[in-house]
């Protein structure tokens, strides 16, 4: 199982103070990686570090705003200079805003795109510039089941996640020949803080159970295996792909 061993690697996970990002950070740590947590909320970021450090993992924090291109570059350049290479990047930072498209506020659209899409470009570019110099690196963008499908009230979110899949293809096209593996993970419906309103809705939960072949919500730890695979040597010839982890939702009508 050495193919999946991440010992000696350093992984930066954006938006990792809670939810999916935190679970992926813990999973990568369990696979042997040193972890760099990122979030804008300093209190939650420090709480996450304390939790993982108490479990015995090597954890640092790197607080910066992923929607600010200059801040991304400065933070990553500074970390590489002071602490060494970032070998794995997981672009997880994201947000949701629900409103019928005809009423969707322009400022909310802009914020959503900056958080879900622009951040992957900003952080990905800043990290890749160092990875390319070394001729190796792993970039994993977090897409969504909405990369392939849409639901009422979240058209801009759907647009952002569709764009993530194509950005991932573009990253692979530009960088695969120079040693980088760039892929995406598309979670289905998972029980996360971002989905709290949906999880508490009995009607929606019944729809999820009926619509998903697995018959249930996903649990965030079920995303860890895909992330470890795409972070490791086991995925050395996998590039530009979006791996759906959705209980079969996108496989059926």
Distance of CA 211 to the CA centre of its chain: 24
**Beta strand ranges found along the chain (DSSP E):** 10-13, 34-37, 59-61, 88-91, 137-142, 180-187, 242-245
For 178-192, how does the pLDDT look when each residue is reduced to its tens digit (9 = 90+)?
999 999 999 999 998
Q: 74-113 pLDDT, tens per residue?
A: 999 999 999 999 999 999 999 999 999 999 999 999 999 9
Examine residue 127 and state whether it is found in any structural domain, yes or no: yes
In angstroms, what CA-CA distances link 103 with 15, 99, 107, 146, 253? 28, 7, 12, 20, 29
Nearest to 222 by CA among 175, 190, 178: 190
Q: Report the C-alpha gap between 98 and 86 in whole angstroms.
A: 34
What mean pLDDT is predicted for residues 162-168?
Answer: 98
DSSP 123-135: HHHHHHHHHHHHT
Which is catalytic among the residues 118, 122, 157, 189? 157
β-sheet bridge partners, residue 190: 218
21, burial (CB in 10 Å: exposed 0-12, middle 13-18, buried 19+): buried
Judge whether 139 lies within some domain.
Answer: yes
Residue 118 lies inside a defined structural domain of this protein: yes
Quick check: 106 and 51 in contact, CB under 8 A? Answer: no
Q: Tally the domains of the chain.
A: 1
CATH number at residue 201: 3.40.50.720
6 in any annotated domain:
yes
Give the tokens for residue 23. Answer: 């679970």
Reported as type and span, the H/E element at residue 169 is helix 155-175
Distance spanning both ends of the chain, measured CA to CA: 36
Active site residue 157: yes
Evaluate whether residue 203 is within a structural domain: yes
In a domain, 253, yes or no: no
User: Does a structural domain hold residue 43?
Assistant: yes
What are the pLDDT digits (tens) for 9-23?
A: 999 999 999 999 999
Domain, as residue range, for 125: 2-248
| pLDDT at 1 > cutoff 80 | no
What confidence category does residue 128 fall into, taking pLDDT thresholds of 50, 70 and 90? very high
The sign of the dihedral angle between the CA atoms of 96, 101, 104, 108 is: positive
d(CA 112, CA 80): 28
pLDDT at 196: 86
């Amino acid at each position: 199982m050495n193919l999946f061993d991440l010992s000696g690697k350093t992984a930066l996970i954006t938006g990792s103070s809670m939810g999916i990002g935190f679970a992926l950070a813990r999973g990568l740590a369990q696979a042997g990686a040193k972890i760099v947590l990122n979030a804008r909320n300093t209190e939650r970021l420090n709480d996450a570090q304390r939790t993982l450090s108490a479990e015995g993992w090597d954890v640092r924090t790197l607080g910066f705003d992923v929607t600010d291109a200059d801040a991304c570059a400065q933070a990553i350049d500074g970390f590489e200079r002071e602490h060494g290479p970032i070998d794995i990047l997981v672009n997880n930072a994201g947000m949701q805003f629900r409103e019928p498209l005809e009423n969707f506020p322009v400022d909310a659209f802009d914020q959503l795109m900056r958080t879900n899409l622009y951040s992957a470009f900003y952080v990905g570019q800043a990290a890749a510039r160092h990875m390319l110099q070394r001729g190796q690196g792993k970039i994993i963008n977090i897409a969504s089941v909405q990369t392939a499908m849409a639901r009422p009230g979240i058209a801009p979110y759907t647009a952002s996640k569709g764009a993530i899949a194509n950005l991932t293809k573009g990253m692979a096209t530009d960088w695969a020949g120079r040693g980088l593996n760039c892929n995406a993970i598309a979670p289905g419906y998972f029980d996360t803080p971002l989905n709290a309103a949906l999880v508490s809705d009995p009607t929606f939960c019944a729809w999820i159970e009926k619509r998903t072949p697995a018959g249930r919500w996903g649990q965030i730890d079920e995303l860890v295996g895909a992330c470890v695979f795409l972070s490791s040597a086991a995925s050395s010839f996998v590039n530009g792909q979006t791996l759906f982890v959705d209980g079969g939702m996108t496989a059926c009508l």
